[in-house]
Amino acid sequence: ASIPENQREAWKKYQTKGFSTKEEFEKDVVRHVETTLARSMFNCDETAAYAAASLAFRDRLITEWNRTQQRQTFTDSKRVYYLSLEFLMGRALDNAMLNVGLKNVAKEGMSELGFRIEDIIEQEHDAALGNGGLGRLAACFLDSMASLNYPAWGYGLRYRYGIFKQEIVDGYQVEVPDYWLDFNPWEFPRHDITVDIQFYGNVRKYQDDKGVQTAVWEGGEIVKATAFDVPIPGYSTPTTNNLRLWSSKAASGEFDFQKFNSGDYESSVADQQRAETISAVLYPNDNLERGKELRLKQQYFWVAASLYDIVRRFKKSKRAWREFPDQVAIQLNDTHPTLAIVELQRILIDLEGLEWDEAWSIVSQTFGYTNHTVLPEALEKWSVPLFQNLLPRHLQIIYEINLFFLQSVERKFPKERELLARVSIIEESQPKMVRMAYLAIVGSHKVNGVAELHSDLIKTTIFKDFVRIFGPDKFTNVTNGITPRRWLHQANPRLSELIASKTGGYDFLKDLTMLNKLEQFADDKEFKKEWQEIKYANKVRLAKHIKATTGVTVNPSALFDIQVKRIHEYKRQQMNIFGVIHRYLTIKAMSPEERKKLAPRVSIFGGKAAPGYWMAKTIIHLVNSVGAVINKDADVGDLLKVIFLEDYNVSKAETIIPASDISEHISTAGTEASGTSNMKFVLNGGLIIGTCDGANIEITREVGENNIFLFGNLSEDVDELRHAHTYGRHELDPNLTKVFDSIKSGTFGDVNSFSALIGAIEDHGDYYLVSDDFLSYIQTQDLVDQAYKNQDEWVSKCIISVARMGFFSSDRCINEYAESIWNIEPLTPEDGNTSGLGK
């Protein structure tokens, strides 16, 4: 329904522009307090002030959002759709204020109304719809896509519960549900945009008069998907993109009235609840797949709704189907959305009547697949019987895809029987399994890893056969990046300001390679002093947080050594805490004179363990138990403190990361696909102690070997070492044995609690090579101590490192995807002047 020409003048006259001055902002805030929040004048606490300020910004964003969408529709440009089951967004208000360039306006406005902007920002609950790196990467990508003016949409699930809140009770992790939707001013419910999603049922095949076979998927159950839109503002651009999250509801509406009237109230409510369960909760596993039916249901629900939406938008353009890949690029964030490949093929052949080959050519040109792991336990597989029951038509199509694929392999490599079994999308196990990564490879035109080493590894290990089959050009690398807007400007405003003062304003936030201008100040006394002051202030801020949350006093002049990330054996937090115990034992054995020469250290840990990952929970327990002993040992005092920070999340990361002197990225070589917090820490002027793994390798190439503390075995040696552990004699490093002895003697409480952790290393082959790397780890930590003593040199290293981090902007990364995978161009108002309500 469009307004006729005659009436449009009136519309144009009152077109919303959104506030741009302090006065207009204040007016919006007061209006929202009085009307939207229905509060009487002057009855406003910090929660209400946060709500009103957010609503004022939301109004502005949605106006920009509308213009962006009109522009994209008008120019009919190719769009990219980023499909991710996780978007770890964190807080939105601060980001929105900075990206639209009105933080100062808001700050002064709020202050006139009686509030401190910092307190208002703190009111916001994180949007924590993700587990870790993969989800946060998706959030950084949204920021970059909008900041670079790409016509891009994110599609995800609107979980009612995000990643659980972690509490530490008596040293143990306790999970508390994260109900974050109580009040969320950042989403727009679109009750008019709904899609019916089908599950279960049967497939009936019949022939029409012309003998053409058609498959009809019928019966089963229908669940309704409703869209919720979250505006994504670009930094200092006219673009506000969209993140569309789907929420599930029973198709029948509130509840089944027939059942209700016939007295079956309970079961009518049960239907409703079963439908709502689909988008109820984020699965809290990080790098582990468990094959639960509800998870597959989530995947199909989200993928089917998103594809319906994408296809509907394409159809409005009235183009021929073969032009679909010129208009649409779909990126699969890991294998979780792989069903999209099957669903699009189904739409084209079953609903739109295309021939198989024509449809398949469209499908396989549309998709790109990003792999994020080589860990076998994280590769998705779904049991065929489960599939058969839930998505019978999709299973048939998968079998067809597999048949045609295997036939082509057979033609190319006629004599290689085992090859067919190895690359089959269906694994011939008991029960049979659908290998989602293989399906994703077969159905995409590009497959990429997320750091150079990782992309090489997938080509030579898990996907080796596919490189032979499809040729090497299908496989590529796009090294991850992070958005400097959130991870420098927002998290570390003072450092950002200092950099701006030396590089000619804030342009570096749009072109991060401009940081290289800092290198000339690496020996500038005045500059170094300011640099150090900022780091110190950031450490003071974290020390306050530590005091407030743990009660422990830490000295901000001590070296802050931080490892914050999901707890996982491959990430080796256990090696870190064993190193801390080693340090403790060393200090205890020293004379008071010797102790005076030591550099004081604060070892800081943070991260969640998957609720069912017992070994990870044991690591958390050990860290807390070690902290409890060391922190109250008067012998040690300030020389060593051990802190476990509860409930690590995006907003806490913004406080923690700028406060590091050294951060730990110490995964067993070849296991961490990329890592992205490594980039965040260095960008904030901290150095790294790390293994030759993931993006650490490229960080080393950029900042130089002298500015990073690398240690440990290389990925090419890992197999050999593991083999030796299993079949040879496996002698532990004597330093590690001493650490184990002290744990076993009860120094840190109940011995049995930690026996599995020690057992994994002593008796079960030390799969993650903790012992093999231990000596080199503690020796390298000693080098860190030495280096830190020379503050003058240390600060120069930090400055040089920051100056060389330009490569790791997610802007660079998104431009690479746009050029080599999506084939899309940026779109700004100059490119497409929209008539009517547009600019």
Q: What residues line the site for ligand F58 (CB under 6 A)? A: 131-134, 137, 285-287, 289, 372-373, 378, 450, 480, 672-676, 694
In degrees and rounded to multiples of 5, residue 549 shows phi and psi of -100, -25
Instruction: Tell me how far, at minimum, the Cβ of 132 lies from ligand F58, in Å.
Output: 4
Q: How far apart are the first and last CA of the chain?
A: 21
According to DSSP, the residues that pair with 223 across neighbouring strands are: 197, 250
The least distance separating ligand F58 from the CB of residue 691, rounded to whole angstroms, comes to 13
Q: Which residues contact 145 (CB under 8 A, 6 or more apart)?
A: 80, 82, 152, 232, 234, 241, 814
63 is catalytic: no
Q: How far is the CB of 334 from ligand F58 (least distance, A)?
A: 6
Name the residue among 365, 371, 299 with its Cα closest to residue 333: 371
**Which residue lies nearer to ligand F58 by CB, 335 or 735?**
335
Closest of 345, 302, 364 to residue 215, by C-alpha? 345
- Residue of 32, 680, 797, 804 marked active site: 680
Q: Which C-beta is closer to ligand F58: that of 132 or that of 670? A: 132
- Could you tell me the maximum CA-CA distance found in the chain, to the nearest angstrom? 97
If the CB atoms of residues 601 and 680 are measured against ligand F58, the closer one turns out to be: 680
**Nearest to ligand F58 of 606, 675 (CB atom):** 675
CB proximity list for 811: less than 8 A, separation 6 or greater: 144, 147, 148, 481, 483, 484, 510, 511, 512
Q: Would you state the torsion angle of the CA atoms of residues 668, 671, 673, 674, taken in this order, to the nearest 10 degrees?
A: -10
Beta carbon nearer to ligand F58, 287 or 715: 287
At closest approach, how far in Å is the CB of 288 from ligand F58?
A: 6
Question: Which lies closer to ligand F58 via its Cβ, residue 62 or residue 462?
Answer: 462
Q: In angstroms, rounded to a whole number, what is the distance separating the alpha carbons of residues 755 and 768?
A: 17
Would residue 445 show up in a list of annotated catalytic residues for this protein? no
| Element housing 670 (H / E) | none
CB of 822 to ligand F58, least distance (A): 17
Token digits for 804? 């060389």
CB 168 within 8 A of CB 620: yes
Distance of closest approach, residue 511 Cβ to ligand F58, in angstroms: 23
CA–CA distance, 397 with 797 (Å, rounded to integer)? 56
Looking at the DSSP bridge assignments, the partners of residue 417 are: none
Q: Which is nearer to ligand F58, 452 or 524 (CB)?
A: 452
- Bridge partners (DSSP) of residue 549 are none
| C-beta closer to ligand F58: residue 550 or 667 | 667
Name which of 28 and 286 has its Cβ closer to ligand F58. 286
Orientation of helix 452-460 relative to helix 696-703, angle to 10°: 140
Q: How far is the CB of 130 from ligand F58 (least distance, A)?
A: 7
Q: Strands across the sheet with 446-449, in order?
A: 188-199, 221-233, 240-250, 152-157, 79-83, 328-333, 367-370, 446-449, 475-477
CB of 486 to ligand F58, least distance (A): 16
Distance CA 398, CA 339 (A): 9
Query: Among residues 78, 372, 535, 804, which one is catalytic?
Result: 372
**Options 566, 583, 601, 804, the catalytic residue:** 566
Report the C-alpha gap between 217 and 833 in whole angstroms: 44
One DSSP character per residue, 540-566 reads: HHHHHHHHHHH-----TTSEEEEEES-
Q: Is residue 326 within 8 Å of 78, Cβ to Cβ?
A: yes
Under 8 Å between Cβ of 481 and 808: yes
Nearest alpha-carbon partner for 644 in 170, 181, 228: 170
d(CA 660, CA 58): 34
Is 632 assigned a catalytic role?
no
In sequence order, the 6+-apart residues with CB closer than 8 A to the CB of 92 are: 54, 124, 127, 186, 230
Query: Which lies closer to ligand F58 via its Cβ, residue 503 or residue 676?
Result: 676
Strands (E), 43-187: 79-83, 87-90, 127-129, 152-157, 165-169, 172-176
Helix axes 573-588, 770-789, angle to 10 degrees: 60
The one catalytic residue among 60, 107, 336, 565? 565
Nearer to ligand F58, 288 or 599 (CB): 288
Catalytic entry in 226, 370, 676, 780: 676
CB of 838 to ligand F58, least distance (A): 37
What is the smallest separation between the CB atom of 287 and ligand F58, expressed in angstroms? 5
Residues 177 and 165: beta-carbon distance below 8 Å = yes
Instruction: Let me know if 47 is a catalytic residue.
Output: no
Q: Are 223 and 248 in contact (CB under 8 A)?
A: yes
Distance in Å, CB of 80 to ligand F58, minimum: 17
Whether 571 is a known active-site residue: answer: yes
Report whether 340 contacts 332 (CB < 8 A): yes
Least distance to ligand F58 from the beta carbon of 273, Å?
Answer: 25
Q: Which residue is nearest to ligand F58 (CB)?
A: 133
| Cβ closest to ligand F58, residue 32 vs residue 297 | 297
Residues involved in catalysis? 372, 565-566, 571, 676, 680
